Chain A
Amino acid sequence: MPNMNSCLSYLARQLLRMIVIIAVVATLAFVLTATAPLDPVTAYLGFDRMQISPEQQQRIIQRWGLDQPPTVRFTTWAKNVIRGDLGDSLVYNEPVISVIQKRFAASLKLMALAWTLSGIIGFVLGVLAGTYQHSLLDNAVRMYAFVLASSPTFWIGMVLLAVFSVKLSWFPICCAGPMGVPPDAVSWAQRLHHLILPAATLSIIGVAQIALHTREKMIDVFMSDYALYARAMGESRLGIAWWHGLRNALLPAVTLQFASLGELFGGAVLAEQVFNYPGLGQATVEAGIRGDVPLLLGIALFSTIFVVTGNAIADLLYRLIDPRIRRGEGVA
């Protein structure tokens, strides 16, 4: 029986840790944007100050304390954030929160598809490569990982675009839906059609990582004492992979998947740029280039929460599922 008290205290500690990290990152992000060679008023109002009436300008300056020294600005911003107000994005002319909501929904589809694909395909390839070491499949997987795992994501996207969209015309060149069609009218099939190439771009590297990692674990399994014992019992290669390999390789693979959410998001930023996909990644780039500080800060905060949660889940899974850690060390 897992100890209830230690369970709760662990959860409490993790939660506290997450909050501290998010707070620190928020502060850091604010400091970074504050030290940018951009004066705070312009950052919030944009360069088209003509469009906004002087009273509007004054109100915004008041609400965000833009004429105050940095420390005051920070506390104002922090207070606003805690209240749920992240400000307005000047690039998209709407509240930061709604921008993030809409765009994250789009990015989520892309990332979820890529994450699932890379997890499943990577795991299966890794298991097979590790079980049949030195076979053709194993060598193919290793060659694939060697070449592609360190390729830049955006370049892979461009190659895929060039081959499959331009040359072969199998897939659309850009965006989340056909041109001119409003987002609500896009069917699932069309959405998928537009998702495939960007998702493939994101998966290609993820597959390589999971496959290699799983392969290593499978090889460890086959070199272990218990695999020897299993062979002595008459277990075949495939049998060892199924009965011993899977349970020893599954947890590390899943943990790795959850811990790689940061890279996934980074890849999404690049992939969305290549395929002009209207997701959160593209919004980040726009915010960075055009100096949209509220949006940039909002995205920084949000994406950090995303990654920190992923890391925490990875850690939790590890403790929950590995019976040795869950029930504590020791002998009955």
Chain B
Amino acid sequence: MLEINDLSISFSRYGGWISRSQLRPIRCLDLKLEKGQIVSVVGESGAGKSLLAHAVLGLLPGNATVSGQMRYQGADLSPTRIRQLRGREIAFIPQSVGFLSPLWRVGGQVARAARLGGKDTARAADSRDRAFARYHLAADVKSMFPYQISGGMARRVMTAAATVTDAKLIVADEPTSGMDEDNSRNALAYLRELADRGRAVLLITHDIEAALTVSDQVTVFLNGVSVETADSKDFEAVDGLRHPYTQQLLNALPQRLFTEVVNGHRRGAGNGTGCVHFGACPLEKDVCGHAAPPRKRIGNGWVRCHHA
């Protein structure tokens, strides 16, 4: 349903009258998402991953340059097309309650989302009520303001807002951030339920464990590049994974070896050539410093590594 190839997003900052410098938080991102699937993009906390969500929804600021391919249902996802589709076929679930308008009751906001999704006023109110019921939100939550609801409730409200529109693609940005275990589990369960009912979910998170519990595929993101994509079940053993960074990530989990993860390029994606893991990789050779590794298909996913 959604296919992204070679996506690159860079920002130019203007100082004086001429463009001063370019910054590329995303250098090369690949992604493939089908109906009924949850694909997670996992990476360290930072600016890069949310940008993906914003790119798919056409929310990047004016000074951003996007290159690469984004295709939705086979056709190119141009800015015009995004504007037509968002809110109707592509829905967004943001990170936190701060994304809800503070002086507007949440019921009204969700009803507005339904209206924007194409329903008329009566049906919008109806969908809103049904969505609230589905996510176990009491009837009086409708008339509450965002500051009155808890983080978990806010997440459910925003999930409801995404589902009132019959959207086929849902982009969830950090669905478990700042939440306790119970709420996290619920949030992920809702997403799984949405996928099981035929929608496609793109899940962006830094929590690889959470991602593994509900995703079908996981894409690992490092310093601007998607270095590996693999099925969830390949993550059960370290050998199932090919990229050294992914293996490090897995080993870093408390229930595995609980070792350290080293990131060589702390300063963010620079303009250098070569592999992004260069400087911290146990397998690195000279070629890794000069040439960016090509994408190699492995099983159901792919890897960017000279040694795969």
Q: Which residues of A does B touch, CB under 8 Å?
A: 225-226, 228-235, 239, 243-244, 247-248, 322-324, 327, 329-332
Given A226-B99, A235-B116, A243-B104, answer yes or no on A332-B149 (Cβ-Cβ < 8 Å): yes
Q: Assess the A228–B59 pair: CB atoms within 8 A.
A: yes
Chain B, residues 288-305, CB within 8 Å of chain A (1/0): the string is 000000000000000000
Interface contact A323-B100, CB-CB below 8 Å = no
A interface footprint on B96-131 (CB within 8 Å = 1, 0 otherwise) = 001111111000000011001100000000000000
Residue B75 at the chain A interface, CB threshold 8 Å: no
Bound complex: CA A244 to CA B100 (Å):
10
- What would 15 more interface pairs be, CB under 8 Å, given A234-B87, A324-B102, A327-B148? A225-B94, A226-B101, A229-B94, A229-B100, A232-B59, A232-B91, A233-B87, A234-B86, A234-B117, A243-B112, A244-B104, A248-B101, A323-B145, A329-B147, A332-B150
Q: With A and B bound together, what is the CA distance between A211 and B191 in angstroms?
A: 45
Q: Which one of B83, B99, B145 lies within 8 Å of A229 (CB-CB)? A: B99
Answer yes or no: B92 CB below 8 A from chain A CBs: yes
Contacts A233-B116, A234-B86, A234-B87 known; A332 to B100 CB distance under 8 Å?
Answer: no
| Contact partner, A324, options B87, B99, B145, B161, Cβ 8 Å | B145
- Which of B112, B117, B149, B150 is most buried by chain A, counting CB atoms within 10 A of its CB? B112
Q: Is the CB of A226 within 8 A of B92?
A: no
Whether A233 contacts B150 by the Cβ 8 Å rule is no
Contact B92 A324 (CB under 8 A): no
From A229, A233, A323, give the contact of B103 (CB < 8 A).
Answer: A323
A234, A235, A332: residue with the most chain B Cβ atoms closer than 10 Å: A234
B101 contact set on A, CB distance < 8 A: 226, 230, 243-244, 247-248
Known: A225-B99, A226-B102. A331 touches B148 (CB 8 A): yes
Q: Are A247 and B144 in contact (CB under 8 A)?
A: no
B42 within 8 A of A: no
* Selected A-B contacts with CB under 8 Å, 6 pairs: A225-B98, A226-B102, A231-B57, A232-B87, A233-B113, A327-B148
A286 to B104, CA, bound (A): 51
> B124 CB to closest chain A CB, in angstroms?
12
B-side interface mostly: loop
CB of B103 within 8 A of CB of A247, answer yes
- Smallest CB-CB separation from B89: which chain A residue? A234
Report the minimum CB–CB distance from B50 to chain A (whole Å).
11
Tell me, rounded to whole Å, the shortest Cβ–Cβ distance linking A258 to chain B: 19
> Which residues from chain A contact B117 at a C-beta distance below 8 Å?
233-234
Measured between alpha carbons, how far is A244 from B83 in the docked complex, in Å?
19
**Are B88 and A247 within 8 A (Cβ)?**
no
Residue in contact with A332 in the complex, picked from B99, B102, B103, B144, CB distance below 8 Å: B144
**Minimum CB–CB distance for B35 against chain A, Å:** 21
Q: Which B residues are in CB contact (< 8 Å) with A324?
A: 102, 145, 147
- Binary flags per residue of B65-105, CB closer than 8 Å to A gives 1, else 0: 00000000000000000010011100110100011111110
- List which B33-72 residues lie within 8 A (CB) of chain A: 57, 59
Q: How far is the CA of A166 from the CA of B133 in the complex (A)?
A: 70
Please name all residues of chain A whose beta carbon is closer than 8 Å to the beta carbon of B147 when the two chains form the complex.
Answer: 323-324, 329-331
**Least Cβ distance of B195 to chain A in Å?**
20
Which secondary structure characterizes the binding site on chain A? Answer: helix
Given A234-B86, A243-B104, are A229 and B92 also a contact pair (CB < 8 Å)?
Answer: yes
**Residue count of chain B within 8 Å CB distance of chain A:** 27
- A235 with B103: CB separation less than 8 A: no
Contacts of B144 in A (CB 8 A): 332
- List residues of chain A with CB within 8 A of the CB of B88: 234
- For residue A234, which residue of chain B has the nearest CB? B87
Chain B residues proximal to chain A, CB less than 8 Å: 57, 59, 83, 86-88, 91-92, 94, 98-104, 112-113, 116-117, 144-145, 147-150, 161
CB–CB B103/A248 < 8 A: yes
**CB–CB A228/B86 < 8 A:** no
Task: Tell me the bound Cα distance from A234 to B100 in angstroms.
Answer: 15
A230 to B101, CA, bound (A): 9
The interface residues of chain B lying within 8 Å CB-to-CB of A228 are 59, 94, 99
Whether the Cβ atoms of B112 and A331 lie closer than 8 Å is no
Interface centre among A226, A232, A327, A330 (most CB of B within 10 A): A232
A322 near B103 with CB under 8 A, answer: yes
Assess whether A232 is in contact with B86, with CB atoms less than 8 Å apart.
Answer: yes
Residues of B within 8 A of A248 (CB): 101-103
In Å, the complex CA distance between A190 and B100 comes to 51
User: Which 9 A/B pairs are nearest by Cβ-Cβ distance?
Assistant: A234-B87, A232-B92, A233-B87, A229-B99, A234-B116, A226-B101, A332-B148, A225-B99, A247-B103
Residues in B neighbouring A244, C-beta threshold 8 A: 101, 104
CB atoms of B92 and A233 under 8 A apart:
yes
In this complex, which of A239, A248, A323 has the most chain B Cβ atoms within 10 angstroms of its Cβ? A323
Task: Give the distance in Å from the alpha carbon of A225 to the alpha carbon of B92 in the complex.
Answer: 13
A332 contacts which chain B residues (CB < 8 A)?
144, 148-150
B57 touches A232 (CB 8 A): yes
Cα A322 to Cα B104 in complex, Å, equals: 11
* Contact A233 B148, beta carbon cutoff 8 Å: no
Closest B residue to A331 by CB, please name it.
B150
A228 to B150, CA, bound (A): 21
**Chain B residue, CB-CB nearest to A250:** B103
When chains A and B are docked, how far (Å) is the Cα of A312 from the Cα of B48?
Answer: 48
> Which B residues touch A234, using CB under 8 A?
83, 86-88, 116-117
Interfacial chain B residues near A323, Cβ < 8 Å: 103, 145, 147
What separation, in Å, do the CA atoms of A243 and B109 have in the docked complex?
9
Q: How far is the CA of A232 from the CA of B149 in the complex (A)?
A: 22
Q: Which residues of B have CB within 8 Å of A229?
A: 92, 94, 99-100
B219 to chain A, nearest CB (A): 22
List, in ascending order, chain B residues with CB within 8 A of A330's CB.
147-148
Residue on B nearest A246 in the bound complex, by CB: B103
